[in-house]
Amino acid sequence: MQHDKVLILDFGSQYTQLIARRVRELNIYSEIHPFNKIPTNIDDYKAVILSGSPFSVRGDEALHPDLSNIRGKKPLLGVCYGAQYLAHFSGGNVAPSNTREYGRAKLSYVKEGEAFLEGISEGSQVWMSHSDTIKELPTNGELLASTHDVQNAAYKINGETTFAIQFHPEVYHSTDGKQLLENFLINIAEVNPDWTPDSFVEETVEALKAKIGNDKVVLGLSGGVDSTVAAVLLNKAIGKNLYCVFVNNGLLRKNEFENVLNQYEGMGLNVKGVDASARFLDALAGESDPEKKRKAIGRAFIEVFDDEAHLIEDVKWLAQGTIYPDVIESVSATGGPSATIKSHHNVGGLPDFMKLKVVEPLKALFKDEVRRVGASLGIDAELLGRHPFPGPGLAIRILGDITAEKVRILQEVDAIFINGLKDWGLYDKVWQAGAMLLPVNSVGVMGDERTYEKCVALRAVESTDGMTADWVNLPYEFLQKTSNDIINKVKGVNRVVYDISSKPPATIEWE
Ligand code: XMP
């Protein structure tokens, strides 16, 4: 089934992905393309949205695409830079603003009876983030809304289905932003809102069946949300022809390998658990440089996975849990589009499994959509709500070199911390949590004995994507109990500290 699609032209705004997500929350499929790479099949898109930008329309470097195949031909919405662009190059005037226009503002005027503003009234909060302002509307422009400081906060161009807003409807602080997008897309552009997790599952399964036929597919499971959802989708499409490999690198959380493997088997997946702990520990022996540790783990994984792939006779495809943010082409600060990701397959010198054809069933989804699709597939909520966990696992949480004993200590500490978060109802309030084993011994006293043992740091952060993060204000009582439990129960640890650094300038992991 073909769904109506919305095209979002990216001018480099930090909020472009948010526009796409808000549109998709309306059950409308949207795609982001760089401003200077307008798809040639423009007729396949029912409406177009122009994003904001760090650039000024007044500058020499102004991003200036040719919209002649779009303007006046299909519904068009300009947001921030998009609104200024539509004004400045069409008979209007954009100039630097005299007052700061960042943050909250309230609509002080709203034209009555306007379909674009249906359900939005004076006083509605909108979010501004711009330094230029639209002084004069373009030819045939008609004012639709103002704020106290911004006269031309919204306008339309008569004779076209073109609308423009200076504020950002995509950020949550714009209270009626979603309503506004709904007005534009559903009421005005008549886009059919039929793109739902259920329809995605149904259509993707059919497409996978058609694409893969009776071929065999190999997929590396990590225990994370993306690879799990990809596996369940493929399993629905091709059943036992999907060969899942779940590798124990010996750096997973306590009992994780056994527990997750059981869960996968319970879900009916054709999965093989491969315990390669010793191989990874060998590869890491004596290594304490963080990047070299990562590389050693990466190499070991490729070897193990390649060995496993060779055991599957006549396998044709490699499945990956790639998601949409990994493949969106971003607009760089210099205005030129830059690819964010390169494919690594079908290149000489690579392990054999990497020469397989690649299938990426989640390539069109944002992370929150992967979770919704997972729920629609009936995957356990607990599995879908798991904190992110780095591929190199505890190796980058053990500062310095890795030994089996250090891994054991950290697994115990981590288990007390994570189980405690669950018991106290805090786990879902935290985006990611874990413990770090520090390369310092300090003096303590237990009973009458002097100790000289390891120190661990606990880290719990809130974040949306891991790019920025802040430490979580966990209750003192919880920290007190956790620290007590760790020191009393984990032999070799006599001190616990809590990391109160934000990212930036710190990072989430310590290595
Ligand atoms: P940082 O430490 O860079 O972490 O603030 C941001 C997010 O990325 C995860 N992370 C990794 N994930 N391989 C991974 O698969 C890695 O080498 C790696 N390093 C960091 C980290 O857990 C956090 O979610």
pLDDT tens per residue, range 378-414: 999 999 999 999 999 999 999 999 999 999 999 999 9
Digit-coded pLDDT (tens) for 279-320: 999 999 999 999 999 999 999 999 999 999 999 999 999 999
Residues 400, 406: Cα–Cα separation, whole Å: 10
What residue owns the CA closest to ligand 1's atom 6? 466
pLDDT at 331: 78
Rounded to the nearest whole angstrom, what is the distance from the C-alpha of residue 462 to the centroid of ligand 1? 14
Helix intervals (H) in 267-340:
277-284, 290-311, 324-327
pLDDT at 221: 96
Q: Name the residue of 227, 508, 511 whose CB sits within 8 Å of the most ligand 1 atoms, as the mutation to test its pocket.
A: 508
Residues 466, 446: Cα–Cα separation, whole Å: 38
pLDDT at 349: 64
Residue 450 confidence (pLDDT) above 60: yes
Residue 180 confidence (pLDDT) above 90: yes
pLDDT at 467: 84
What atom in ligand 1 is closest to the CA of residue 391?
Answer: 15
Q: How confident is the model at residue 333 (pLDDT cuts 50, 70, 90)?
A: low
pLDDT at 11: 96
Average of per-residue pLDDT across 366-382: 95
pLDDT at 325: 87
What atom in ligand 1 is closest to the CA of residue 432?
Answer: 24
Rounded to the nearest whole angstrom, what is the distance from the C-alpha of residue 412 to the centroid of ligand 1? 21
Rounded to the nearest whole angstrom, what is the distance from the C-alpha of residue 252 to the centroid of ligand 1? 14
What atom in ligand 1 is closest to the CA of residue 503?
Answer: 5
Phi, psi (rounded to 5 degrees) for 86: -65, -30
Of 193, 59, 37, 166, the closest CA to residue 105 belongs to 166
The residues carrying an active-site annotation are 80, 168, 170
pLDDT at 236: 98
Point out which residues pair with 330 in neighbouring strands: 338
Residue 468 confidence (pLDDT) above 90: no
pTM value is: 0.88
What residue owns the CA closest to ligand 1's atom 11? 390
Q: How confident is the model at residue 343 (pLDDT cuts 50, 70, 90)?
A: very low
pLDDT above 90 covers a percentage of the chain that reads 88
Average of per-residue pLDDT across 438-442: 97
pLDDT at 342: 31
Instruction: Work out the mean pLDDT of the chain and round it to a whole number.
Output: 94
Side by side, which strands form the sheet with 271-275?
271-275, 242-248, 216-221, 315-319, 357-359
Rounded to the nearest whole angstrom, what is the distance from the C-alpha of residue 390 to the centroid of ligand 1? 5
pLDDT at 457: 98
Rounded to the nearest whole angstrom, what is the distance from the C-alpha of residue 485 to the centroid of ligand 1? 27
pLDDT at 338: 38
Average of per-residue pLDDT across 212-238: 97
Q: For residue 205, what are the contacts with CB-CB under 8 A and spacing of at least 6? A: 233, 236, 237
pLDDT at 174: 93
pLDDT at 309: 96
What residue owns the CA closest to ligand 1's atom 20? 390
Q: List C-alpha distances in Å: 129 to 40, 100, 117, 133, 270.
A: 31, 9, 20, 10, 50
Per the rule left: phi > 0, alpha: psi between -120 and 50, beta: everything else, 202 is alpha
Q: Name the residue of 221, 297, 507, 509 whose CB sits within 8 Å of the most ligand 1 atoms, as the mutation to test its pocket.
A: 509
What atom in ligand 1 is closest to the CA of residue 434?
Answer: 22
pLDDT at 351: 83
Rounded to the nearest whole angstrom, what is the distance from the C-alpha of residue 269 to the centroid of ligand 1? 27
pLDDT at 336: 47
Residues 363, 420: Cα–Cα separation, whole Å: 35
pLDDT above 70 covers a percentage of the chain that reads 96
What atom in ligand 1 is closest to the CA of residue 469?
Answer: 5
Find out whether 139 and 132 touch, Cβ atoms under 8 Å.
Answer: no
pLDDT at 346: 36
pLDDT at 172: 87
Residues 196, 181: Cα–Cα separation, whole Å: 17
Rounded to the nearest whole angstrom, what is the distance from the C-alpha of residue 65 to the centroid of ligand 1? 36
Q: Which amino acids bring their CB within 6 angstroms of ligand 1?
A: 294, 388, 390-392, 432, 466, 503, 507-509
Find out whether 417 and 482 touch, Cβ atoms under 8 Å.
Answer: yes
19-23, 159-163, 343-347, 470-474: range with lowest mean pLDDT: 343-347
pLDDT at 347: 42
